[in-house]
Structures are given as C-alpha cells and as structure tokens.
Structure 1
Amino acid sequence: MQLLEYVFDGVSVQPVQGYKADPDASPTLVFFPGKLNISAEVGIELFAEEERYSDYGVRLLLKVGPKADEQAPYVVQVNARGLVRMHLVQAEGQAEERRVRAMVNGVSLLFGAVRELVVTITSRSVHGPFLLPSVSFADLASPKGERVAKLVARKPAVKRAKKAPQSSSD
C-alpha cells in the first residue's frame, strides 16, 4: 500500500490558557494520553478499481483536547484527506478486504502526517512541543468502524538503561 498524496483541509492548534506543565514530566516525551480526550471521524471512498490495484480516498478528522478535570497544553483539530493505493491482485470476493486494509492503514498513515504537523506547529508555540501519543486504528476493521474510530492511545514505553555492574579492578 502507498500513500500517494495527502492534504490538510483545516488545521487548528490553540494553546490552553492557564496550562501549567507537570514539573515531573519530561517535556521531550509524548504527552500522557490518559489526560487527553482524543476522537476521530474517518471515511473511505473507492476512486479507481484496476486489475492490479485499487485507489481509495481516505479522510481523518482528529480532535484532541484535555479530559474533564485534566490539563493539556493545546486543543487540536485537524482535517486531513489522502489518496492510498492498494497493490493487491484483484481476486473474487476480495473487495471488502481491500477496502478494510485501505481504511485501517490509510487512516494510520494520515494520523502519522497529522502527528508530525502538530509537533512542528507546537515546537514554536507557547507551551512547547506537543507530540500526540501513538494510537491504534485496528477497530476500523469492524463493521461499525467507518463512522467513528475508537482510539486506543498507547502510553509511551520509556526504557531506562540499567546500570552496568561495577567490576573491581585489582
């Protein structure tokens, strides 16, 4: 699969007034997803069906803000559209599988572009860089998945280096 092109139909990144950064959190890590309300609306449309590939238009409307009684540095809303190409030889009864793969993977690729755009914009903003957490769009493979994606944010895994055992030298 390829992401052939993508565009942003709208981008809004607003600093939250009165936001106070957690002094115990590293400003270089992904913002803790448990404090965020993340929602997405997604869609897909078949543009071209050829023997060796299918082209789909995918869209993602991502909304991110603080959960009630929590703090987050920004309120974000980004609307993105992209064109993805599925390189599978067409076979009998494979159309739905191609559509589902295009949806899950296409929206995931768009999310990566949105994530990079948000961190770029916020890197020069008042509260500093805001790197959105990684999310899974696997639920889009379910029959109800096209309307609204249930996002599963992943807490960043921070591995701390273990100290090497001290060796005594004689």
Structure 2
Amino acid sequence: MSASVMFWEHFSVGQEWTHHRGEALDEDEIIAFAKQYDPLYIHTDPVRALSGPLGMHCASGVHTFAIAQRMLCDALFSMTHVVAGHRIDSFIMHRPVRPRDMLSLTVEVMNAMPHARRDDCGWVTFAITVLAAGTGRVLTYDLTVLIGRARWKRQPNR
C-alpha cells in the first residue's frame, strides 16, 4: 500500500473532513436513478410530482445516500484501509434534495476503538452530514466501519 493510506491509528475523535460534489444534481440524473432503483412518481415524473404529497420533484433518499457514499469515498475512504462496513445508525432525511441542489458532505470521527477479537483492525464511527447549499442539512447518519491497523501480527489459522 502507498504511504498515503490511512489506517485505524490515524483516526481520533473530533477529526473532520469535508467534500463538495463538483456539480449540481440534475433532473435527468434524478429520473435515471429513480427509474432503476426507486421508481416512485415523485422521483420519476417531474410534472406529476408537483401535485404529489411534497409538491415538488425530488431525488430518492436512496439516491442521496448513494451520492453521500461517493463523496465519502472521494473525501476519505479511497485513501483508507477499509476492511468492511458494519452498521448505519440514526439515518435521518431532513428535507428533499431537488434538481440543481449543490451537495456537500462533512465527516466527523465520533469514536475509535480496537476490535475486541482481532488485533489487525479497529472500529471507527463517523457522523455524516450531507448539506445542500443554501438550505442546510438534507441527510445525517452515523456509520461504523472496520479499518485495518498499520501494524499487526497475523495469527496462524487455527
């Protein structure tokens, strides 16, 4: 692995990262994602969505989460020795994401603790906040990930 890879030892409570998506979410992207993964009319039909319960065309929450995962990888995970995801807690969609929203992500380390049975990795819990420019939070959740340690002793197979 390259020297720029981050391991469990590199994470401490309170550390923060941010990432800005380079482009606004566009209507065609919202529709294409929704047709494949969440084909509700409020996501696939901009005209009909105006008369729906939200009164607007918006992205699926699943789509917003997928964008958040990409931003998280771009900001941090692509240079981290991630072993596996573990859990997502406190998943809250605060408001709909609309076409032309510019999204950004803030990641904060909430907890870092060694794995109880493995000395080659440890747990890190991140607080994730997705923001839309000018309107604030759109999605928040806590994500716990298993991250490899920089130095570890490989145990023989038993």
Scaled by the length of structure 2, the TM-score of the pair is: 0.36
Scaled by the length of structure 1, the TM-score of the pair is: 0.34
Rg comparison, structure with higher value: 1
